[in-house]
Structure 1
Amino acid sequence: MRETLTTALDLMFGHEGGYVNNPKDPGGATKYGITHRTLAAHRGVASVTPAQVKALSKAEAIEIYRRSYWVQSGGDLLPVGIDFMAFDYGVNSGPAQAVKSLQRVVGVTADGIVGGQTVAAVNAYKGDLIDAYAAERLRFMRTLKTWPTFGRGWQKRVSAVVSQARHIIRGMQPTTDAPSHSAKANPKDQSITETLKKPEAWASIGGLLSGLGGMASGTGPMQWALAIIMVGAFATGAYFLIKRMQDQAA
């Protein structure tokens, strides 16, 4: 583990407050930025109660951050500064989303895994990667249905992360904000409109429409009945297709 992880953890607790359970926050019951789902997964149980989340110790939260976020976000592989940005993004939106956004910025396959190709592209990037990465993170956040509710807080968080990353790169001690919970920016909360902008969505829906059209072609009562059934099947298929694509974005 890098020594800078200690700084990253201190800054993380500056972005994440104590226990909250905001019904509008998709993360649900959360403490130190650790959601009830993450805590349950860490403990190897199906679920935990809000009371168990509230009782989460800072020591256990640090262990979760080390094992489930720092490494998965590329913390030990990415350049100093960018490692912190990916870590913070990963805590807020999931490590895979954080890495995919970075990969899109540097122009490599967005598979959500930090490997040699991603590290090389990051090191070879021409321009201000801190600003570019922050801009991509905000672009993603604006596609979420929860942006109108939490967007202002997210903007403040990203702005603080940019400043802190620059301090880390210069070897300076970054300013740690007073803890204030930031709602989760979950990739699964992308709007249907945003999901349908993706080429793969229209390719899949187009194929589904073509297949249904062939099945319902012709005239007569049987064909009309079949057409009605196919419309229902299309609506169901399109719904699950969109849900699958939103899940894959996470």
Structure 2
Amino acid sequence: MRETLTTALDLMFGHEGGYVNNPKDPGGATKYGITHRTLAAHRGVASVTPAQVKALTKEEAAKIYRRSYWVQSGGDLLPVGIDFMAFDYGVNSGPAQAIKSLQRIVGVTADGIVGAQTVAAVKAYKGDLIGAYAAERLRFMKTLKTWPVFGRGWQKRVISVEAQSRQLIRGFQVNTDVNTSSAKANPKDQSLMETFKKPEAWASIGGLLSGLGGMASGSGPIQWALAIIMVGAFATGVYFLIKRMQDQAA
């Protein structure tokens, strides 16, 4: 096994979270990115329970990744950087799909198997293969019916994997401790109603109502002008509040 496998596994565990069982995820019960079906196949049984998936250790998950994903994704054959991209892609979408996407980019038969022809084409590719591979992975993901649910998390992950792959190519030390967005993440956008539940929003509304109440006791163009200015300031404040809440939720 190539030495970079250790780093690749550390990066993988950084991307994949702990136990999840999202009803919207066709993969079902999953831990460390290992689905219940993959775990059952690895153990040679018909099925496993969610509790058994939850009890999966990182050591067993690493064995599954080595045996069922790293080799099939060309981990020991492809150039450093591309090997990690294919490995990560393969974990999400299957090694065959990951390799087919790569083969289409480099112009060889898309059979999903890493052979001498594929390796030679990858090494001879002229251009930014890292960027092209990341773009092709996103293109494929956008065709999936679960993109509206998981798309935002997937996109963040692909961007992170692209950056980490470039670091691997340059021989930089890659930070493997940061838990990046999982492909199964489903970040929730902040709606207006959710924003107005925040104390900051109520403070702004209270200030507006207090000011308008004070001006209501008077009349004339000056009072109306002040009221318009206050409403405009309030609207601007709410806009930036919503933007800040959305950034925090991302």
Q: TM class by shorter-chain length?
A: 0.7 to 0.9
Structure 2: how far apart are the matches of 1:130 and 1:180?
Answer: 20
The match for 2:51 is 51
CA distance in 2, matches of 1:130, 1:179: 19
Separation (CA, whole Å) in 2 of partners of 1:84 and 1:132: 15
SS at match of 1:46: coil
In 2, the alpha carbon distance for the partners of 1:182 and 1:155 equals 8
User: What percentage of residue pairs aligned between the two structures are identical?
Assistant: 85
1:73 maps to 73
Q: Does 1:25 align with 2:25?
A: yes
Q: 1:183: which partner in 2?
A: 184
Tell me if structure 1 keeps the 8 A contact 2:157–2:180. Answer: no
Deviations 1:62-118 (A, max 9, x none): 000000000000000000000000000000111000000000110111100000010
Tell me which residue corresponds to 2:7. 7
Tell me the distance in 2 between the aligned counterparts of 1:180 and 1:21.
16
- Normalised by the length of structure 2, the TM-score is 0.72
Specify the alignment match of 2:208 in structure 1: none
Gaps of 5+ in 1: 185-250
- What residue is the counterpart of 2:86 in the other structure? 86
Structure 1 Cα separation of the partners of residues 24 and 81 of structure 2: 31
| Native 8 Å contact 1:18 1:179 kept in 2 | no
Larger relative contact order (C-alpha < 8 A, sep ≥ 6)?
1
Shift of residue 179, structure 1, vs aligned partner: 5.6
**Cα displacement (A) at 1:173:** 1.3
Distance (whole Å) between structure 1 residues aligned to residue 20 and residue 181 of structure 2: 10
Q: Distance in 1 between matches of 2:41 and 2:162?
A: 30
Tell me if structure 1 keeps the 8 A contact 2:108–2:117: yes
Aligned residue identity for 1:79 = P
Cα separation, 2, equivalents of 1:151 and 1:86: 19
Equivalent residue, structure 1, for 2:219: none
Q: 1:97-156: per-residue Cα shift (whole Å, max 9, x none)? A: 000000011011110000001001000101000000000000000101111111110110
Structure 2: distance between partners of 1:135 and 1:118: 19
Q: Deviations over 1:198-235 (max 9, x none)?
A: xxxxxxxxxxxxxxxxxxxxxxxxxxxxxxxxxxxxxx
Are 2:69 and 2:95, in contact at CA under 8 Å, matched by a contact in 1?
Answer: yes
**How many equivalent pairs are there?**
184
Question: By how many angstroms is 1:183 displaced?
Answer: 2.3
Could you say which structure has the larger radius of gyration?
Answer: 2
Q: In the aligned structure 1, how far is the partner of 2:4 from the partner of 2:170?
A: 12
Q: Show the counterpart of 2:174.
A: 174
Contact 1:74 1:83 in 2 (8 A): yes
Looking at structure 1, the residues matched to 119 and 87 of structure 2 have their Cα atoms a distance apart, in angstroms, of 15
Once the 2 structures are TM-superposed, how far is the Cα of residue 26 of structure 1 from its aligned partner?
Answer: 1.4
1:178 Cα deviation after fit = 1.3
- Please say if residues 153 and 181 of structure 2, whose CA atoms lie closer than 8 Å, have aligned partners that are also in contact: no
Instruction: Tell which deviates more after alignment, 147-156 or 172-181.
Output: 172-181
- TM-score of the two chains, using structure 1 as the length reference: 0.72
Q: Which runs of 5+ in 2 are unaligned?
A: 186-250
1:191 corresponds to which residue? none
Q: Distance in 1 between matches of 2:17 and 2:71?
A: 22
1:173 & 1:24 partners in 2: Cα distance?
Answer: 36
**Which residue is 2:146 aligned to?**
146
RMSD in angstroms over aligned alpha carbons? 1.1
Structure 1 CA distance, aligned partners of 2:152 and 2:175? 20
1:1-250 matched pairs, under 5 angstroms: 1-176=1-176, 177-178=178-179, 180-183=181-184
Q: 1:20 to 1:73 in 2, by over 3 A?
A: same
